[in-house]
Chain A
């Protein structure tokens, strides 16, 4: 159902339809909602990276959810929910990229299409997120402050520069170096984990 449909149907008809859906597919709908909730934070991050606007990110994630909800019946229990949801999200991002507001801040549709990860490139972020947390603590205090202001407080470099009393250029360089350092740190963790797993497997 499209968002405006319930206005056309009227509140009572909409509620009745929803009730029917919930009764019919209650278990399936709850499963899909639970799985969506599990992946939503990661999905939002991915969408934001593509379209660079928080409000539009929220819109895209909501629209993805609505489609997931609508197609809950189609999801096969035990199959790859993550890949399914990302495929829907991918279409929603490309749809959104045609809007003028998105075109101002994000890449053109053809470029976004080139940058979309393939299904086999989608890695589960849960381990990497915990590795990221320990890597952030290894950053220098000033780099960590810049990262926190950028990603926790959603500030852009000019605002960070004012708080830290640095030049905007210095903040740009600091953020860039911090991202590289974090990437390398996570990679190192992954390699160590991989070696230790191999070690255990050999015993």
Chain B
């Protein structure tokens, strides 16, 4: 037997998962093989040390000693008086306090913290916090005031909202669904029906009605809210009867306490371009990936052209999958079309859809255009659709409503080329390549296109 196989048996014994047959096998090995005994002794040695560490850290040294004697028989108790004096109530209390400190030190998800927290950090970049205010603890936010001096972050609130913040921003949580923005910039997205978020500023109170929006408060307390998707309800203050429902593509500005002004989002959307990817759950992307700005797409996709860039467009977010969806690439570490297994998206889950497309300039000088890059998502990619027919079939669930995707233009194949294009023996175009990282959070692409669009649909777990 190989050392690796012996190690598996030893680990199973020490971790309490060994079966009766495996135990017999290991016993026989230990009886006959010095190598097996050596392997066991070395592993058991570190296991014992870890056990000792675990007990001492979990309860504190005195507490661990006390716990060791918790089961002793009643008739033996009188012999332990000296231990009782050593590990009395004070010792146990001190041990408990110490253990709480140690649990925090090791970054463990401590239940009490978990219950008290209102949001969890899911992305951070170069964060600098003002020491005069609270800081997130072990990646958790509580009902406190925070001042982010530098960097970007994204958090998930306990009420299901995804909130992104860019420095400098001061904000406060009052509860998992209520926060205040004193100044700075944030975006929020609610992708599930049960999610909720209310945000107040000096001059407006906002209730998210299941949507995505950006909110900005300037140093002079001027607030502006821009709705990217859906609608939000805006009041001047909590008690006010004057209420606005702001719809997709609109921006509302509150100047001072009482004056409201609305305008088209397009004049304001660029203010949130930096936060928009984070809010969508996109952690990283190559410079040649252009993320479509927040708000409605106002031109047919076929008119969005570039020889050097690909565009990433958020489609329907938080879709409940209740029908069959055929996929071209499912498993981590696989590459389409060479070694990718097709699959079907499991029904009964929520996913968000992103369309990645490469659409070279029509009639341009270049007859062959190539782009390659990568995109990394916060959540797992559950599948990728590369083929024209499957893209069309999945439009009913994921496509942006009333948007022309381009399949009625020209020859109109939307998907990728799975084979090289060769005309009369003359090589013209290599096939496209898409691959998925082992952890299924990154997609790598290499598109080759002449004048026809290359589109793929990336489905990400919500």
Which A residues fall within an 8 A CB radius of B?
3-4, 6-7, 14-15, 18, 30, 33, 37, 40-42, 44-46, 48-50, 52, 55, 58-59, 61-62, 66, 69, 105, 107-108, 110-111, 114-115, 117, 125, 128-129, 132-133, 136, 141, 144-145, 147-148, 150-154, 156-158, 163, 168, 172, 175-176, 179, 182-183, 186
Contact = CB atoms under 8 A, between A and B. Distances in A.
A42 B76 CA distance: 22
A76 to B, nearest CB: 21
A44 B82 contact: no
A49 B75 contact: no
A148 B108 contact: yes
B14 A49 contact: yes
A146 to B, nearest CB: 11
A107 B14 CA distance: 11
Given A55-B71, A114-B30, A115-B40, A49 B54 contact: no
Given A62-B72, A110-B31, A148-B54, 4 more contacts: A41-B65, A58-B71, A115-B44, A175-B11
Contacts of B56: 41, 129
B134 to A, nearest CB: 23
Interface stretch (B45-53, B234-242, B257-265, B335-343): B45-53
A58 B107 CA distance: 29
B107 A141 contact: yes
A7 B82 contact: no
12 contacts: A3-B75, A4-B75, A33-B83, A52-B14, A108-B27, A125-B52, A132-B53, A153-B54, A156-B16, A175-B15, A182-B50, A183-B43
B267 interface: no
A107 B109 CA distance: 35
Contacts of B12: 172
Interface of B: 7-8, 11-17, 23, 26-27, 30-31, 37, 40-58, 61, 64-65, 68-73, 75-76, 78-79, 82-83, 86, 106-109
Given A44-B68, A183-B42, A144 B52 contact: no
A41 B73 CA distance: 20
B86 A125 contact: no
Contact of B108 (A48, A110, A145): A145
A37 B46 contact: no
B106 A148 contact: yes
A14 B48 CA distance: 37
B15 A115 contact: no
B71 A15 contact: no
B51 A49 contact: yes
B78 A49 contact: no
A183 to B, nearest CB: 5
Contacts of A66: 76, 79
A46 B26 CA distance: 19
A175 B13 CA distance: 13
A146 B65 CA distance: 24
A4 B26 CA distance: 38
B64 A115 contact: no
Contact of B53 (A15, A59, A133, A158): A133
Contact of B49 (A33, A132, A141): A132
A49 B44 contact: yes
Chain A at the B interface: SS class: helix
Given A58-B72, A111-B27, A117 B41 contact: yes
A59 B65 contact: no
A157 B52 contact: no
Contacts of B45: 183
Nearest to B16: A156
A176 B13 CA distance: 12
Contacts of B52: 41-42, 44-45, 125, 129
Given A44-B68, A52-B13, A144-B106, A30 B82 contact: yes
Contacts of A148: 54, 106, 108
A48 B54 CA distance: 13
A152 B57 contact: yes
Q: Which 10 A-B pairs have the closest CB atoms?
A: A151-B54, A45-B52, A45-B48, A45-B51, A49-B48, A152-B54, A151-B50, A58-B71, A152-B58, A176-B11
Residue among B12, B26, B106 with max Cβ neighbours from chain A (10 Å) = B106
A193 to B, nearest CB: 16
A159 to B, nearest CB: 10
Nearest to B11: A176
Given A144-B107, A154-B54, A172-B11, A62 B48 contact: no
Contacts of B44: 49-50, 115
Contacts of B37: 114-115
Contacts of A59: 71
A179 B82 contact: no
Nearest to A168: B17
Contacts of B65: 37, 40-41
Contacts of B16: 52, 105, 156
Given A58-B70, A58-B72, A145-B108, A179 B50 contact: yes
A179 B47 contact: yes
B374 to A, nearest CB: 22
Nearest to A147: B50
A157 B17 CA distance: 8
Contacts of A105: 16
A115 B53 contact: no
A7 B73 CA distance: 13
Q: Identify the interface centre among A44, A55, A110, A153: most chain B CB within 10 Å of its CB.
A: A44
A60 to B, nearest CB: 11
